[in-house]
Structure 1
Amino acid sequence: MTSTDKPYQKIPIQDCGELLIPIPAELFIFESPHPYHKLGAPYQLSPVSSPYYLRENVGDRLITANQYLQAEYPHLRILVFDAYRPIEVQQFMVDHAFQQQLKATGLTLELLSEQQRQQLWEEVYKFWASPSHDPATPPPHSTGAAVDVTLFDIVTVSVLNMGSDIDEISPRSQPDYFAESSDPTELEYHRNRQILKQVMTRAGFLQHLHEWWHFSYGDQMWAWLHNRQSTKGAIACYGRYS
């Protein structure tokens, strides 16, 4: 297995053919313009002009999760950071993540040794899926079945602090990173993450093992995570959408 291979990619796919549908803007919080748009990601090559799309059943489950959240925490809403991501955007963001990691080293590409270059790519691929064009190994977001979310407080008009930024390549992005902390602020981060996880999993989503913000339903990662918890042999019902 190479650094770009993921264990969930061995899960077979039988795409159910559901269409992408827009996530209803009146029910959720969006960031506008989208963060990847601001970086210059090539959405003009996408089947849809916006990242705020999901497969129909996945979108319905996200609405259900938001309803669960509001029933228990009326002041909170789900903020959708990212959803459908075409392969071209995946490639753009993987390259961007590598450049950010390179910048953090204080070196230039020309000064990197081959070992350093490999280490940087390994860090990137711990968090980012390879922009594979192979229909058997699509990036999760390119299926329309994965969504990156956080929580937004409509009273304070602010995003809840989760202790790390979405897309942050660091150990702090692990879902339970703050679980054993004795610091009250860090325990609040963990509580916020647990609120998000509880409403999303109640709606049928499963959480990425290394990213507190990433949830999916029906893609290869979801099936792989499901099979870790059960012996039912789930397969993916969503492949690459194009």
Structure 2
Amino acid sequence: MTPRTVLTIAGSDSGGGAGIQADLKVFAALGAYGTSVVTAVTAQNTRGVDAVLSLPPRTVTDQLDSVLTDFAVRAVKTGMLGSPAVADAVVEAARDDRLPHLVVDPVLVATSGHALGAVATVERLLPFARVATPNCAEAAALTGGRVDTVEEMVVAAAALSAGGPDYVVVTGGDMDAETAVDVLHGDGGTTLFRAPRVSTRHNHGTGCSFSAAVTVRLALGDSVPAAVAAAKKYVTGALLGARDWELGAGRGPLDHFSWSA
């Protein structure tokens, strides 16, 4: 059977734990054929981001045209966009209905604290999103409020959903609690997804991996709640698989292919 094709529009992570590299690993692990549009090149590893180079908007548009005119793309995710001009190029494609089942991962800050995007850049895409997947810090930046508790996650998800996306899932993996809670808001109200928190330093790229998994499941025909549930299960397993690894000196990557299962 021909695999479903999915597309990631994001930055490159030279350490391989997040961005384009993580997305393509997730696509392959979950049975989809991955294509990519690179928006920026970063010099980074498990310890942090050393440099960022945003690509020209025309280069991004050329990549989009090459992929979308040849492949039957079933779902698309965005990550780091790099610049407002690049965001505008992606928005133009979304406005023309060329980005089906769009999942927007509003990448604003790397795990190391390095700024990778601006709120205004992300806000350009939200009205076109089928699903937006901010973590608590990103949800706070986008709403201008505090998002430190599950109750505040619920409020933030509803507020962001009112701004355009069909669904918003605020991920709680960065909260300090024994249970990792994700809050989904959209058609049908609010749903909470819970899983035991995995104690590990190998958590670099969890947001990218989660949104990529949602994208694959949408391409395979899942409803949004089913896709979110499957993505949470996948990321939890990837965290468990990598928890005893010794890759890099900082926040290491996930076990995307269940090598340690």
Using the size of structure 2 for normalisation, the TM-score is 0.27
Structure with larger Rg: 1
Bigger proportion of residues as strand: 2
Bigger proportion of residues as helix: 1
Using the size of structure 1 for normalisation, the TM-score is 0.29
Which structure's relative contact order is higher, taking Cα pairs within 8 Å and 6+ residues apart? 1
